[in-house]
């Protein structure tokens, strides 16, 4: 089966007006402005299969939002080819929008003073969903997204997490083939992130809906995505499963030291940093991710040995790090 999304040497360049300091430059720029070009997507190629949950990841400015804008058809590409569900998202936008659901961050189409179900009714009318399809779909989505009594509340009374679940359910009313979510987890607490993630998984399992999601919350990507595309400076650094990403960066190990009450964890952290280990402190625990490509056992053993001699430890563990840790380490 052909992939539902196919991108070949996809390119997007922004023209940026240069403003040099000084009155002379400002006056000259009025007559002959200085432009430079910046490639936000530098000829990237990838496929996404029908029924995948694909996570787009990358640091700020990596090109995730630009890619989502090309995928949903609100911006033209400058080069390469892009086919989604057999259509060109930008050139065939009128047909295309019927096939996709899009939620950008916290911009929902729920109307503030109306109850959620009233906003859903308006959406039904705009997208021409038949009454019978709407009733069936509403029942399915109420269960999948745990909407229950939220449906009868005015949108302004919902929490951020509840708003996001309702906003996503709303765009699913017209049963799109593909759902695009740009940073849906911003501002959500961990419980809301988990609830949204589980709802998306249920949706995907029940209807084989392809989902493309960008998030800085790597835990959500690791939990729900079947494919991870990692962007850096407009290029693809990694494209594969979350599991493969961990395997690829499998040479990393997490050293986790647990300290007794009153221990000087900061001093221990400084010591590890001095050995080139990236560390985080969480309560009585100090974690360091070690790049131990060659001689993994020896490097970990030497660090543990030095730590036990210098500091009073309650326990220590050598573990495989999460996707989040290895990616963050790879960025450094």
Ligand X SMILES: Nc1ncnc2c1ncn2[C@@H]1O[C@H](COP(=O)(O)OP(=O)(O)OP(=O)(O)O)[C@@H](O)[C@H]1O
- Interaction site with ligand X (CB under 6 A): 14, 16, 38, 40, 58, 60-66
Q: 106 exposed, middle or buried (CB, 10 Å; 0-12, 13-18, 19+)?
A: middle
DSSP codes, 49-105: -TT-EEEEEESTTSSHHHHHHHHHTSS--SEEEEEETTB-TTTTHHHHTTTEEEEET
Residues 6+ apart with CB under 8 A from 257: 268, 285, 286, 287, 288, 307, 311, 313, 315, 316
CB of 52 to ligand X, least distance (A): 20
CA dist 91 and 78 (Å) reads: 13
Polymer length in residues for the chain: 332
Q: Residue 203 or 221: which CB sits closer to ligand X?
A: 221
Of 38 and 320, the one with the shorter C-beta distance to ligand X is 38
Q: What is the nearest approach in angstroms of ligand X to the Cβ of residue 160? A: 18
Neighbours of 134 (CB within 10 A): 18
Nearest approach in angstroms of CB 16 to ligand X is 5
- Compute the least distance from the CB of residue 317 to ligand X, in Å: 33
Between residues 15 and 32, which has the closer beta carbon with respect to ligand X? 15
Min separation Cβ 59 and ligand X, Å: 7
Under 8 Å between Cβ of 53 and 200: yes
The answer to whether the CB of 279 falls within 8 A of the CB of 273 is yes
| Minimum gap (Å) between residue 78 Cβ and ligand X | 12
Q: Shortest approach of ligand X to residue 214 CB, angstroms?
A: 7
Instruction: Output the smallest distance, CB 20 to ligand X, in A.
Output: 17
Nearer to ligand X, 76 or 295 (CB): 76
Q: Return the H-helix or E-strand segment holding 123.
A: helix 116-127
First-to-last alpha carbon distance for the chain, in angstroms, is 38
21/60 with CB nearer ligand X: 60
Q: Are 109 and 170 in contact (CB under 8 A)?
A: yes
Give whichever of 213 and 269 is closer to ligand X, judged by the CB atom. Answer: 213
Nearer to ligand X by Cβ, of 12 and 124: the residue is 12
- Alpha-carbon distance of 266 to 131, in angstroms, equals 63
CA-wise closest residue to 50 among 99, 5, 93: 5
Nearest CB to ligand X, comparing residues 217 and 222: 217
Contacts 24+ apart (CB under 8 A), 145-149: 145/169, 145/199, 145/203, 146/195, 146/199, 147/116
- Based on CB atoms, which residue is closest to ligand X, 56 or 203? 56
The encoded tokens of residue 276 equal: 């080139």
Q: Say if CB 271 and CB 302 are below 8 A apart.
A: no
With residue 310 as reference, give the H or E element that holds it.
helix 296-310
* Shortest spacing between CB 186 and ligand X, in angstroms: 10
């Amino acid at each position: 089966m052909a992939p539902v999304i196919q991108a070949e040497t996809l390119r997007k360049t922004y023209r940026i007006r240069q403003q040099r300091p000084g009155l002379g430059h400002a006056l000259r720029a009025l007559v002959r402005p200085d432009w430079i070009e910046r490639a936000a997507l530098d000829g990237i190629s990838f496929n996404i299969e029908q029924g995948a949950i694909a996570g787009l990841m990358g640091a700020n400015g990596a090109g995730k939002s630009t890619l989502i804008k090309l995928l949903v058809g609100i911006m033209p590409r400058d080069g390469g080819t892009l086919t989604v569900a057999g259509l060109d998202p930008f050139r065939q936008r009128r047909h295309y929008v019927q096939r996709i659901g899009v939620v950008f961050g916290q911009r929902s189409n729920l109307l503030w003073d109306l109850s959620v179900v009233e906003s859903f009714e308006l959406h039904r009318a705009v997208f021409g969903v038949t009454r019978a399809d709407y009733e069936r779909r509403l029942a399915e989505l109420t269960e999948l997204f745990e909407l229950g009594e939220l449906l009868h509340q005015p949108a302004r009374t919902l929490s951020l997490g509840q708003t996001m679940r309702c906003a996503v359910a709303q765009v699913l009313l017209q049963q799109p083939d593909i759902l695009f979510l740009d940073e849906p987890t911003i501002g959500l607490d961990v419980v809301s992130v988990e609830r949204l993630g589980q709802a998306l998984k249920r949706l995907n399992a029940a209807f084989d809906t392809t989902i493309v999601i960008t998030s800085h919350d790597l835990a959500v990507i690791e939990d729900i995505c079947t494919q991870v595309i990692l962007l850096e400076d407009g290029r693809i650094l990694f494209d594969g499963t979350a599991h493969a990403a961990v395997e690829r960066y499998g040479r990393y190990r997490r050293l986790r030291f647990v300290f007794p009450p009153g221990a000087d964890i900061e001093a221990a952290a400084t010591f590890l940093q001095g050995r080139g280990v990236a560390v985080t402190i969480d309560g009585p625990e100090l974690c360091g991710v070690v790049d131990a490509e060659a001689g993994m056992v020896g490097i970990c053993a030497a660090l543990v040995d030095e730590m036990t001699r210098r500091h009073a430890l309650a326990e220590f563990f050598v573990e495989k790090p999460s996707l989040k840790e290895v990616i963050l380490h790879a960025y450094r």
